[in-house]
């Protein structure tokens, strides 16, 4: 299988940190989205959604969603488990993943893509163009603050985002929190638990992936 | 375990159809969100996100996301499998689920919550209020059309949304397509494959759940 990847943007980093935690190396090809390489026919025929990461399996099937890639790799390489050890742990991880995705990752994306001039007409990922909506950019910024607060409340009661073990919820939350840096939104003073957690997970070697 | 549920809104229907396909019955309690019962302290202490469906496990853990509930039930009651039979099938299902969620379900929610007066200041689910954004309501309508087109293209090549077996991707896609009815968006004439699929999955007894 082959991973279409690029250092810098947040989504592919979720897969790279996940791979580093598993101790895995995959065949990779860089798709430089800063140079709009995702629009080249060579890549757009592989992933018509024009997004990275994308994982092409040996069968030819292409997975275009980070979480689908992560779950597939978890099945193939179960050690160490990153989605939890029991049905209940896995359910808690899945529940948190959606909160991180919708309230965190998508809130930052809402802010970034609706306010940074470079994303003009690219307010959503994918093959179609959407105009920026100024109010939506502002709403995104507001939501980032709530995401930090909510994560801080979770981390007041547990070491990691989905309990007392490091999981894929920590991988994706770290990437979402760091992604907020693109909007110059740093962890606020009133979120000490989030700060403690962020220092800890950022110190893992995988965070450099 | 106990399911907090209500007939009518789209999200809980995803869980009910899933249960019907599994032949399962759960203990249920109705939370009448039309009468704002989600704000009652009795429920808000169980699910501070104020959303349904919510599944309370015997351990006290509460799952608040439809997909987390569906995956948990799949683990406990694997027959018939609704997430696929092999790692690759499951990866394809997961990949489709996210497309259905983001491009379908959330597109309809964007339209509904930003344009129907009843959702004034409730442009996002959850405990916090967000003002409606008129342009976002219009964008949602536009995206529903693209969702129909994209699903039609998928269904031109396969019987079901994630291949040749009925899966949870069909459950959630059916609910997303029917949810579009709230914005008076019906399957257009130029989407015959989507129409064929919609007729077929709607005829299953589970669709009435």
Helices (H), chain A: 10-22, 41-44, 66-76, 87-99, 106-115, 134-157, 168-179, 192-202
Give yes or no: residues A127 and A167 share one domain: yes
Q: Print the domain residue range for A124.
A: 87-208
Structure letter (DSSP) for residue A203: T
A87–chain B Cβ distance below 8 A for any pair: yes
Q: Give the position of tokens 């893992």.
A: A204
Q: Is residue A82 part of a domain?
A: no
A65 touches chain B (CB under 8 A): yes
Largest CA distance in chain B: 49
In terms of Cα–Cα distance, which of B117, B94, B109 is closest to B163? Answer: B94
Whether A58 has its CB under 8 Å from any CB of chain B: the answer is no
pLDDT > 90 fraction of chain A, expressed in percent and rounded? 98
Kindly state whether A157 is in contact with chain B, defined as any CB-CB distance less than 8 angstroms.
no
Distance (Å) from the alpha carbon of A2 to chain B's nearest alpha carbon: 15
* pLDDT given at position A196: 98
Residues of A with Cβ-Cβ distance to B146 under 8 angstroms: 128
Per-residue pLDDT at B84: 98
* Confidence (pLDDT) at A112: 97
Where do we find the tokens 């009468």?
B35
Q: Give the pTM.
A: 0.96
Q: Looking at the complex, report in whole angstroms how far the Cα of residue B52 sits from the nearest Cα belonging to chain A.
A: 13
Residue B57 has a pLDDT of 98
Domain match, B106 and B66 both: no
Give average pLDDT by consecutive 10-residue segment, chain A, 209 residues.
Answer: 96 98 97 93 95 97 98 98 98 98 97 96 93 97 97 97 98 98 95 98 97
Structural domain contains residue B81: no
| B64 & B120 share domain | no
Contact A72 B88 (CB under 8 A): yes
Residues in chain B where the model's pLDDT stays below 50: none
Tell me if residue B186 falls in helix, strand or coil.
Answer: coil
Total domains in chain A come to: 2
> Per the domain annotation, does A142 fall within a domain?
yes
B105: nearest Cα among B67, B49, B156, B77 = B67
Q: Are residues A44 and A67 in the same domain?
A: yes
The candidate with the shortest Cα–Cα distance to B91, out of A62, A173, A29, A79, is A62
User: What is the b/e burial string over B16-51, where b = at least 16 CB atoms within 10 angstroms of the residue's CB?
Assistant: bbbbbbbeeeeeebebebeeebbeeeebeebbebbb
CATH number of the domain that residue B23 is part of: 3.40.30.10
For A180, list phi and psi in degrees, rounded to 5: -60, -25
> Which candidate in B58, B89, B91 is best for mutational testing of the A interface (most A CBs within 10 A)?
B91
B63 with A95: Cβ contact below 8 A: yes
pLDDT of residue A192: 98
Sign of CA dihedral B90, A89, A11, B101: positive
Q: What is the CA radius of gyration of chain A?
A: 17
The residue of chain B with its CA nearest to that of A99 is B65
Do residues B68 and B35 share a domain?
yes
Residues A65 and A139 in one domain: no
A167/A160 Cα distance (integer angstroms): 8
Residue B11 is assigned to a structural domain of this protein? yes
CA dihedral of residues B36, B120, A136, B107 (deg, nearest 10): 70
Residues B92 and B66 in one domain: no
């Amino acid at each position: 299988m082959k991973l279409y990847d690029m250092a810098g943007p947040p989504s592919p980093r979720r897969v790279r940190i996940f791979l580093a935690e598993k101790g895995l190396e995959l065949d990779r090809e860089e798709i430089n989205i800063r140079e709009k390489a995702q629009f080249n026919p060579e890549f757009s025929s592989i992933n018509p959604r024009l997004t990275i990461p994308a994982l092409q399996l040996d069968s030819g099937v292409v997975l275009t969603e980070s979480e689908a890639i992560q779950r597939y790799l978890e099945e193939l390489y179960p050690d160490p488990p990153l989605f939890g050890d029991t049905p209940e742990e896995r359910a808690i991880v899945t529940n948190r993943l959606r909160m991180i995705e919708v309230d965190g990752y998508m809130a930052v994306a809402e802010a970034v893509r609706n306010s940074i001039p470079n994303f003009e007409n690219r307010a959503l990922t994918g093959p179609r163009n959407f105009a920026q909506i100024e109010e939506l950019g502002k709403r995104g910024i507001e939501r980032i603050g709530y995401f930090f607060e909510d994560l801080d409340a979770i981390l007041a009661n547990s070491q990691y985002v989905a309990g007392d073990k490091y999981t894929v919820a920590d991988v994706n939350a770290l990437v979402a929190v760091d992604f907020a840096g693109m909007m110059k939104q740093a962890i606020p003073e009133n979120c000490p638990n989030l700060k403690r957690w962020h220092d800890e997970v950022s110190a893992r070697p995988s965070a450099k992936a």
